[in-house]
Structure formats: structure tokens, C-alpha cells
Structure 1
Amino acid sequence: MAILSLEYYSEVLGMNRKVKIIYPEASKVADFTNTDIPVLYLLHGMSGNENSWLIRSGIDRLVRHSNLAVVMPSTDLGFYVNTTYGMNYFDAIAIELPQVIHNFFPNLSTKREKNFIAGLSMGGYGAYRIGLGTEQFSHVASLSGVLTFDGMEERFSENPAYWGGIFGNWETFKGSENEILALAREKKIKRPKLYAWCGKQDELFAGNEYAAQQLKELGYDLTYEKAEGTHDWYYWTKEIETVLNWLPINYVQEERLS
């Protein structure tokens, strides 16, 4: 396994961007063709960047027995959308980044069934926004994600400069492609399988409960889990292992000392 740092120029954003990549051992992909290594795009939360998952969760340890490559980009505080102030993070990460990654690593799979996306908090929102807004990912996972802003309208009025810069005002946000449930209602040829987890003591728990119910009513193949827990890396580190087991990859959990 190798941990790589890649800096590249984003034509979409007009600036250099950094991404971290975990590349599997050759012995783990020996049974695959040269262009068939599965890929997980793993997204950070509001306080993070491309290093967060490596530093806080030890994701490199978790996947070292797998055949999975992991790509960890940064969206700053842009919520993985095309912002109203002209920074098109959605286009940069959902469309441009996979092309960049494949140019540097042509043996990573471009098959939909072997491309996955997951994230926590803001990154959980981003995973669903990208996963439902494109048809390039077969499995989409959220940990403590902002899957609905219903009940959080006051945030738009309390900090209009930030939220307006990201999404516009509440009226323009509702029903737009940036609202996860509105996006989920759009007719799609290929629907991804969905996974969501949230802790019961998390301030986003009620929103996750509501979003999960709505997604199931819309007919999505959703695995929804909940447990005791807060909005904290302690829980996300444990739950990302569940996500890895849920993905269709060759994953062997690391043996733990008793």
C-alpha cells in the first residue's frame, strides 16, 4: 500500500488543488485486470481537508488488506456544490477530478460498479449530492451527513453571507438540485445504492431520520443505521469500517487485539 500526495491544476477552479490517494498493494489486485481497481472517493467535513481521513480515522490501516484505492479531495467550505460566488466545486470534484485521477492512475476502474463515494457531515451531504447528481457511482454512503436542511432555515438568515454564498437564499435553495431530497425525486436511469448512519445524540439525527424515511418512500435501496453517538470522529472511525464491509470489494477487517 502507498499513500500519495498529488497536486494538480484545476481548470474548473483556476487554481492548484491537492488530493491524497491510498493505492493498494500489488498482491491485493493480482486477480484484476490493469484497469479494474475499485475506487472510493472519501469526502471530509466542514473543518477538514484532504488530510482529515488519514489523520483522524487511520483509513490507511483500515483498507490495507483490501483491493481498494481511496481518493481524498478537499472542497474547503464549499459543500461540494457549484457556489453562487463562482467556485464550481461540484464540477471540480464530480467531473474533473475523476478524469485527473484516471490520467495519473489509468489502472483505476472507470466502471460505475467499481466507483464509490462516501463522506461525513458536510462530506455526507457532498457524497449524496454528487452520487445522486451523477450516474458514475454505484454506492453512496453518508456518516452523520447533512441530508436535509429542513428545520435549519435560521442558518440561512443568521449567516446570509456564508450560506447565501454557497446556496443562495432559502427560497432559491428549496427545490433546487442542491437540496438532496429534491434531487432524489428526479427521474434517473441508474440509481445508486445508498447507506446512511447517524448517532442518536447528533444534532443532525432528526434530519437523517426524516431523509431516510423519504428516500425509502421514493424507492431507493437505502441501508439506514443508527446507534448511540454524537457528531464525532470516534464514531465515524468505527462506522467507516461498516461502510467498507458494505461495499462490493475484497475487504478483510483487520484483526484487533483483545
Structure 2
Amino acid sequence: MAIINLEYYSEVLGMNRNVKIIYPEASKVSGFKNTDIPVLYLLHGMSGNENSWLARTGLDRLVRHTNIAIIMPSTDLGFYVNTTYGMNYFDAIAIELPKVIQNFFPNLSTKRDKNFIAGLSMGGYGAFRLGLGTNHFSHIASLSGVLTFNGMEGRFEENPEYWGGIFGTWEQFKNSDNEILALAARARKQEEKPKLYVWCGEQDELFSGNEFAVSELKRFGYDTTYEKSSGTHDWYYWTKYIEEVLKWLPINYVQEERLI
């Protein structure tokens, strides 16, 4: 397994960007084939960047025996959307980045059924926004994600500079593609809907929103795996449940042997 830091110029954003990559190693993976390698795009939360998952979890250890590449980009604080201030993070990550990755790593799969996306908190929102807003990913996972802003209208009023810069006014946000459930309602008409995974801790302030979002996603006809447990908005739980995501994905996930 190799950990690669790729710096590239983003034509969409007009600046250099960094993306962290975990790349499988033939000698560590049973039955490794150096073609059509499955890919997981893994997104950070509001306080993070492309280094967060590696710095805060044992992710590299978890996948060292599994044939999967993990791509970890950064959206800064831009919520993975095309912001009103002109930074088009959605286009940069959903459309441009897969082409950049394919250019440098042509043996990674471009097939929908071998491309997946997941994230935590803001990244959980981002995974659903990018996943439902394209037809590139067959599986989408959220850990403690902001899957609905219902009841959070006050944030737009309290900090209009930030939230307005990201989404515009509350009225502009509602029923737009940036509202996950509105997007999901429209995307359910796709012939092949992605499979969904959601986890949220019961002590998390986002828990009730996740409960509501999951009920709506199921009502829309999405194949949704929902897990909940005692837990807060914390890396302890995200480290635990990213392994559950890996088990859920249609890959031959090989668990690391644990020392007793």
C-alpha cells in the first residue's frame, strides 16, 4: 500500500489543489489485479482537509489487505457545492477530479459499480450531494452527515455572510439541488439509483435530522442501510463506522488482524 500526495492544477478553481490517495499494494492483497481497481472517494468535515482521515483514524491499516484505492480531496469550508462566491467545488470534485485521477492512475476503475463515495459531517452532506447529483457512484455513505437543514434556518440568519456565500438565501437553498432531500426526490427517477448507508449517533445534534432524512429516502424508494447507536459527533465513532462502510461496500474487504 502506498500513500500518495498529489498536487495538481484545478482549471475549475483556478488554483493548485492537493488530494491524498491510498493506493493498494500487490504484495499485500490476495488475488490483486492491477486493472479496474475499485475507488472510494472519502470526504472530510468542516474542520478538516485532505489529510484528516489519515491523521485521525487507522484507515491505512484498515485497507492494507484490500484491493481498493481511496481518494481524499478537500473542499475547504465549501460544502462540496458550487458556491455563490464563485468557487465551484462541486464541479471540481464531481466532474474534474475523476478525470485528473484517471489521467494519473488509468488502472483505477471508471465503472459506476466500482466507484463509491462517503464522508463525515459536512462530508456526509458532500457524499450525498455529489453522489445523487451525478451518476458516477453506485454506493453513497454518510457518517453523522448534514442530510437535512430543516430546523436550521436560523443559521442562515445568524451568519448570512457564510451560509449565504455557500448556498445563497434560505429561499434560494430550499428545493434546490443543494437541499439533499429535494435532490433525492428528483434523482429517484434515475433508472439505477445508488445504494445508501447512513449512521448517526443518538447523542449527536444531527440525529433527529438523520432519522427524518432516512425515512424520506426510504419513502423515495432508495435501498438505504441505516445504523444508529449511542454516540456523539466524534472521531471515535467515525473511526469505528468507516469500517462498517467498508464491509458494506461490494468489495472483498479483508479485515486487519488485531493484536490481543
* Range class of TM-score, shorter chain: over 0.9
The answer to whether the 8 A contact 2:30-2:65 is kept is no
Alpha-carbon distance, 1:190 to partner: 2.1
One-letter amino acid matched to 1:122: M
One-letter amino acid matched to 1:226: K
Task: Find the aligned partners of 1:29 and 1:164 in 2 and give their Cα distance.
Answer: 49
Say if 2:204 is the partner of 1:202: yes
One-letter amino acid matched to 2:192: K
For 1:83-122, what aligned pairs fall within 5 Å after superposition?
Answer: 83-122=83-122
**2:237 is matched with which residue?**
235
Alpha-carbon distance, 1:77 to partner: 0.1
Alpha-carbon distance, 1:256 to partner: 1.8
SS in structure 2 at match of 1:129: helix
Give unmatched runs, 5+ long, in structure 2.
none
The answer to whether the 8 A contact 1:125-1:146 is kept is yes
Q: Any idea what the Cα deviations from partners look like across 1:81-130, whole Å, max 9, x if unmatched?
A: 00000000000000000000000000000000000000000000000000
Task: Find the aligned partners of 2:224 and 2:103 in 1 and give their Cα distance.
Answer: 32
**1:174 is matched with which residue?**
174
One-letter amino acid matched to 2:228: K
Say if 2:9 is the partner of 1:12: no
SS in structure 2 at match of 1:162: helix
Alpha-carbon distance, 1:253 to partner: 1.2
Alpha-carbon distance, 1:207 to partner: 0.3
Alpha-carbon distance, 1:26 to partner: 1.3
Task: Find the aligned partners of 1:162 and 1:225 in 2 and give their Cα distance.
Answer: 31
Alpha-carbon distance, 1:254 to partner: 1.2
SS in structure 2 at match of 1:6: strand
Q: Any idea what the Cα deviations from partners look like across 1:119-145, whole Å, max 9, x if unmatched?
A: 000000000000100001000000000
Runs of 4+ in 1 over 3 A off after TM superposition: 29-32
Task: Find the aligned partners of 2:157 and 2:30 in 1 and give their Cα distance.
Answer: 50
SS in structure 2 at match of 1:257: coil
Q: Any idea what the Cα deviations from partners look like across 1:199-243, whole Å, max 9, x if unmatched?
A: 000000000000000000011000010000000000000000000
Root-mean-square deviation over aligned CA pairs: 0.9
One-letter amino acid matched to 1:206: S
Task: Find the aligned partners of 2:147 and 2:87 in 1 and give their Cα distance.
Answer: 22
SS in structure 1 at match of 2:191: coil
Q: Kindly tell me: are residues 110 and 192 of structure 1, through their superposed partners in 2, closer, same or farther at Cα, counting changes over 3 Å?
A: same
Give unmatched runs, 5+ long, in structure 1.
none
Q: Select which of 176, 191, 194 maps to 1:192.
A: 194
The answer to whether the 8 A contact 2:32-2:67 is kept is no
Say if 2:63 is the partner of 1:55: no
The answer to whether the 8 A contact 1:29-1:37 is kept is no
Task: Find the aligned partners of 2:32 and 2:18 in 1 and give their Cα distance.
Answer: 31
**1:144 is matched with which residue?**
144
Q: Select which of 217, 221, 224 maps to 2:223.
A: 221
TM-score (norm 1): 0.98
Task: Find the aligned partners of 1:57 and 1:207 in 2 and give their Cα distance.
Answer: 26
TM-score (norm 2): 0.97
The answer to whether the 8 A contact 1:37-1:109 is kept is yes
Task: Find the aligned partners of 1:11 and 1:116 in 2 and give their Cα distance.
Answer: 24
Task: Find the aligned partners of 2:156 and 2:192 in 1 and give their Cα distance.
Answer: 33
Deviates more, 1:231-240 or 1:182-191: 182-191
Q: Any idea what the Cα deviations from partners look like across 1:128-169, whole Å, max 9, x if unmatched?
A: 000100001000000000000001110000000000000001
The answer to whether the 8 A contact 2:217-2:224 is kept is yes
Q: Any idea what the Cα deviations from partners look like across 1:171-195, whole Å, max 9, x if unmatched?
A: 1100000000000011223210000
Task: Find the aligned partners of 2:30 and 2:133 in 1 and give their Cα distance.
Answer: 30
**2:67 is matched with which residue?**
67
Q: How many residues align?
A: 257
Task: Find the aligned partners of 1:207 and 1:57 in 2 and give their Cα distance.
Answer: 26
Alpha-carbon distance, 1:74 to partner: 0.3
The answer to whether the 8 A contact 2:201-2:228 is kept is yes
